[in-house]
Amino acid sequence: MPSLKDLRNRIASVKATQKITKAMQMVAAAKLRRAQEAAEAARPYAERMDKVLANLGERVNAQEGASPLLVGTGSDKVHLLVVATAERGLCGGFNSNIARLARTHAKKLLDQGKMVKILCVGRKGRDALRRDMSSNIIDLIDMKAVKKLGFEDADKIGTRVLEMLDNGEFDVCTLFFSEFQSILTQEPTALQLIPVNLPEASESETEQGSQAGYEYEPDEDEILADLLPRNISTQIYRGLLENAASEQGARMTAMDNATRNAGDMIDDLTLLYNRSRQAQITKELIEIVSGAEAL
Amino acid sequence: MADTFTFELVSPERLLISEPVESVVVPGSEGDFQVLAHHAPVLSTLRPGLLDVVLPGGKERRIFVRGGFAEAGPDALTVLAQNAIDSADLNKSALAQEIKNAEEDVSDAKDDETRDKAQGALDGLKLVRDTLGLG
């Protein structure tokens, strides 16, 4: 049975923790709003890019000698996994969910006798994967210094990936991130970047496109060659933005749970504290009364 | 008054401009072209340069763009640019840095095709500098 003083200390400590989790939840809520706005603002660019690529993809057949970004390098021996996670913890299952998806994927590839290289974006992903895949991790891109995620940050990663492709360091590239569905649900997602899955042009758009009969300047192949690398960066940027929103959403939910849990604990401890105090008072009274009777 | 069409300027981060305009001069990679209302559908890549936008009423606006492409149609022009800065906000040192980078690209180019491309980008940047008098 803990003494009254111990109980008092514990209640105080849980209260202090609750204050912190409450504050973190509110900060995450504010950041989430901003992250969502950023993701929203980036949408027009990605949508138009998709539309044009879909239009172009139909016209340009995957002939020989086409860009490896479109048709692949011809083999699928070496896989590059770009695993995007957060820089900080305390956000529920967010980081471990992404890491788990990446790990399962990597294990599957390794079982098939493929080579796997992992490029971590964000410290937490590396921490999670380091235990059993440390030999596969080739580098960590630190996002700690990044205050506000800009396109340049994504472009740096994109350029890096393209350089590696040029040097023949991998054949297939997949991006792992968490898709933001709502504050409560974030879906860890794997997106194949290279070779690219061209978005399908919807029926109405194809019709419009062919009716309009676009003139291309320079020709389709060259435009496509210009757009595909750009598309890589755009996709990474989208992934990072989704990730940022997911992280804050996950943290908000986790901290909300923690705050509520702390509240429950405080209630329980307070009840226990009051009972013990009451018990002690009763005990003292009995001692006095029985002492008086004995006289 | 001339007919207007919708001009949209989109950067990866956000939609920068979406408004009716009278005409836009676009720095295409194969040469500049002016887009008026009822333009034939064209898709063109961009070289670094200035978008000259004429707003209804004759007011002009200049925007520096770098990297991307333009999609023109009869009633709309969409420019997707990796970078877009209003020319009033463009500063000398940033532009000088860009030119320096472009010069390095030219000298680093391994084959003729990439060199041509890099040279085109460099020429575009120099033209911007001279037009705006930021030399």
Residues B4-35 have pLDDT tens digits of 999 999 988 888 889 999 999 999 888 889 99
Q: What is the mean pLDDT of residues A118-139?
A: 89
Please give the ipTM for the structure prediction. 0.79
A293 touches chain B (CB under 8 A): no
Q: Which of A20, A97, A25 is nearest to A249 (CA)?
A: A25
Residue A209 has what pLDDT?
45
Kindly give, in sequence order, each residue whose CB lies less than 8 Å from that of residue B86, ignoring residues fewer than 6 positions away. Answer: B61, B62, B63, B64
Assign residue A292 a region (left: φ > 0; alpha: ψ between -120 and 50; beta: otherwise). Answer: alpha
Q: What percent of chain A has pLDDT over 90?
A: 50
B6 touches chain A (CB under 8 A): no
Q: Which of A165, A162, A147, A178 is nearest to A241 (CA)?
A: A178
Dihedral of CA atoms A30, A36, A39, A43 in degrees, nearest 10, equals -140
Q: Residue A97: is its pLDDT beyond 80? A: yes
User: Are B69 and A42 in contact (CB < 8 Å)?
Assistant: no
- Mean of all residue pLDDT scores within chain A: 87
Q: Would you tell me which residues 230-259 of chain A have a C-beta closer than 8 angstroms to some C-beta of chain B?
A: 230, 233-234, 237
Amino acid found at A129: L
How near does any CA of chain A get to the CA of B91, in Å? 19
Residue B66 vs residue A288, higher pLDDT: A288
Residue B9 · residue A45 · CB < 8 Å: no
Residues A218-246 have pLDDT tens digits of 887 788 888 888 889 898 999 999 999 99
In the residue annotation, A91 being an active-site residue is answered as yes
Residue A93 vs residue B89, higher pLDDT: A93
- Of these ranges, A1-5, A90-94, A221-225, the one predicted with the greatest mean pLDDT is A90-94
Q: What is the mean pLDDT of residues A150-179?
A: 90
Q: What is the mean pLDDT of residues A113-138?
A: 90
DSSP chain A: ---HHHHHHHHHHHHHHHHHHHHHHHHHHHHHHHHHHHHHHHHHHHHHHHHHHHHHHHHS---TT--HHHH-SS---EEEEEEE--S---STTHHHHHHHHHHHHHHHHHHTT-EEEEEEESHHHHHHHHHHHTTTEEEEE--TT-SS--HHHHHHHHHHHHHHHHTT--SEEEEEEEEE--SS-EEEEEEEEETT-PPPPPHHHHHHHHHHT-EEES-HHHHHHHHHHHHHHHHHHHHHHHHHHHHHHHHHHHHHHHHHHHHHHHHHHHHHHHHHHHHHHHHHHHHHHHHHHH-
Q: Which residues of A touch B12 (CB under 8 A)?
A: 42, 45-46, 151, 154, 233-234, 237
Q: Which of A27, A161, A26, A171 is nearest to A84 (CA)?
A: A161
Q: What percent of chain A has pLDDT over 70?
A: 92
Residue B135 has what pLDDT?
63
Q: Which residues of B touch A218 (CB under 8 A)?
A: 29-30, 44-45
Residues A173-220 have pLDDT tens digits of 999 999 998 888 899 999 988 888 776 655 444 444 444 567 887 887
User: Are B42 and A216 in contact (CB < 8 Å)?
Assistant: yes
Catalytic residue among A91, A118, A121, A165: A91
Residue A210 has what pLDDT?
46
pTM of the model: 0.85
- How many residues belong to chain A? 295
A30 band by pLDDT with thresholds 50, 70 and 90: very high
CA distances from A6 to A2, A261, A284 (A): 6, 20, 20
Which residues of chain B, if any, have pLDDT below 50?
none
CB pairs A-B closer than 8 Å: 71
Residue A207 has what pLDDT?
45
Residue A273 has what pLDDT?
96
Element (H, E) at B106: helix B92-108
Q: Residue A293: is its pLDDT beyond 60? A: yes
Q: Which residues of A touch B28 (CB under 8 A)?
A: 217
Of B14, B42, B80, the CB nearest to A215: B42
CA distances from B90 to A101, A132, A251, B84, B97 (A): 44, 49, 39, 10, 12
Q: Which residues of A touch B105 (CB under 8 A)?
A: none
Of A41, A150, A214, the CB nearest to B43: A214
B27 touches chain A (CB under 8 A): no
A248 band by pLDDT with thresholds 50, 70 and 90: very high
Residue A62 has what pLDDT?
54
| Number of neighbouring beta carbons within 10 Å of residue A186 | 27
Tokens at residue A95, please? 């980081």
User: Facing residues of A189 across strands?
Assistant: A177
Place of tokens 């086409």: A66
Kindly give, in sequence order, each residue whose CB lies less than 8 Å from that of residue B127, ignoring residues fewer than 6 positions away. Answer: B49
Residue B5 · residue B77 · CB < 8 Å: yes
CA distance B44 to A215: 8
CA distance B65 to B23: 17
Q: Residue A44: is its pLDDT beyond 90? A: no
| Number of neighbouring beta carbons within 10 Å of residue B131 | 13
